Amino acid sequence: MAAARASEGRSMQNRELTEMHTMEVNHWWYAGKRLLFRRLLADRLARSDLRILDIGAGTGAAAMDFGRDGWICASDRSRIAIAYARERGVRTAVVADATAIPFADESLDLVLALDIIEHVDDDEAMLRDIARVLRPGGAVAIHVPAWPSLWCGHDEILEHKRRYTRRGLARTLSAAGLEAEYLGWAGATILVPAAVVRLSRRWLGAESDRQDAFSLPRPLNSAMLAVYRAEAAIAARSGLPFGLSLAAIARVP
Query: pLDDT (tens digit, 9 = 90+) per residue, 127-140?
Result: 999 999 999 999 99
CATH 3.90.1170.50 fits 2-251, yes or no: no
For the cut 60, the answer to whether the pLDDT of residue 222 exceeds it is: yes
Write down the pTM of the prediction. Answer: 0.90
Model pLDDT, residue 134 = 98
- Identify the residue with better confidence: 229 or 99: 229
For residues 166 and 45, what is the distance between their CA atoms, to the nearest angstrom? 25
Is 194 in contact with 179 (CB distance < 8 Å)?
no
Q: How many angstroms separate the CA atoms of 221 and 231, rounded?
A: 15
Mean pLDDT over 47-68 rounds to: 95
pLDDT digits (tens, 9 = 90+) for 195-207: 988 887 777 765 5
- Strands 134-145, 93-95: pairing is unpaired
Q: Distance between CA atoms of 99 and 97, rounded to whole angstroms? A: 5
pLDDT tens-place string over residues 176-191? 999 999 999 999 999 9
d(Cα 130, Cα 102) in Å, to the nearest integer?
10
- Say how far apart CA 178 and CA 21 lie, in whole Å: 32
Rounded to whole angstroms, the Cα distance separating 90 from 134 reads 21
